[in-house]
Amino acid sequence: MIKVNHKTTVSVIVPNYNHKKYLHQRIDSILEQTFTNYEIILLDDHSTDDSQEILSSYQSNPHISHIILNSENSGSPFVQWEKGIDLAKGKYIWIAESDDYASPLFLEYTVNALETHPEAQLCYTGSHIIDATSSPIKLEGFDKWEEDGLSYIFNSHEYIKSHLLHHNSIYNASMVLFKKEHCLSAITTEYKKMRYAGDWLFWIEQCRKGDVIEIRKKLNYFRKHDKNTTLKGDENGNAIIEISFIKGFLYKNIQLNWAQKIIDKSSFYRHIKYYPVSKQRRKELYKISSQQANVTFCSYIIGQRVKSYMKHRNRNQ
């Protein structure tokens, strides 16, 4: 059994919109945590199903501190995140997405890690990827490590360069526990305007505040289904617009050498080049990426040559 300081308080925020069929599993998996010193903040963004009735049925549970049922939809999941953070009284925040669920050991492991390493801003675990029926599915690109149950600590700046520059390695909010103090201070508010990639920008800002702990144990269940907002953004290319802003933000605020920056720009341009959208839409995306992140055909060509040169040099060393 991991030793945990049970005087620590966690605020668990459950932002919900039309996930009634997952809510009991979600909330019950929180109530079954072996670490028990937490409050639960239930938020509903004006669901059109029976979600509000299900959320209200937990009102008498002593762990429930707030049930906020919006009379109008906020238009952004990240506005709900901030609402929950403002209400939170805990030292740590867990944004437990309403269609996911967790192992009973999730808080025990993550709280212990952050208490043991106070220089860290956030801690995250691995995830089992599941479908709409909670059946496991195999998808590439997640948790590229052997599960050994150990904690790995990354320097803030180095983590962003290695894990958040090319893509968002913190791919699900439910897998993360982070410090509340100053988490919303001196950060861009652009993430609240986003529908598809706001979490990527939010985690970049959190990682800028301290070191990062990665626990190589799957303690979260991340649900991928056809109603995921990110999937809709991928289909129409709108996610690319938000990613262009994020790329520009990274290039301005993260210290990168010239080669790192030009290679990343080249990779992003290539990503747009082969994106499954119409020619007209691709032209629009090229223009936006140029304006937001200075990603151009020229940077694509130079980046490809630099990447090729570096591979050749490394082979001959």
β-strands 211-223, 120-130 pairing: parallel
Is the torsion defined by CA of 45, 51, 56, 60 positive or negative? Answer: negative
* CATH code linked to domain 10-230: 3.90.550.10
Q: Is this structure's pTM higher than 0.85?
A: yes
Tens-level pLDDT at each residue, the chain (317 residues): 445 555 569 999 999 999 999 999 999 999 999 999 999 999 999 999 999 999 999 999 999 999 999 999 998 899 999 999 999 999 999 999 999 999 999 999 999 999 999 999 999 999 999 999 999 998 888 999 999 999 999 999 999 999 999 999 999 999 999 999 999 999 999 999 998 999 999 999 999 999 999 999 999 999 997 655 554 556 789 999 999 999 999 999 999 999 999 999 999 999 999 999 999 999 999 999 999 999 999 999 999 999 998 888 877 76
Residue 283, token pair as written in the block: 């032209």
| Domain ranges for the chain | 10-230, 253-315
Those residues whose C-beta lies under 8 Å from the C-beta of residue 303, and which sit 6 or more positions away, are: 262, 263, 264, 265, 266, 267, 269
State how far the Cα of 203 lies from the Cα of 198, in Å rounded to an integer. Answer: 9
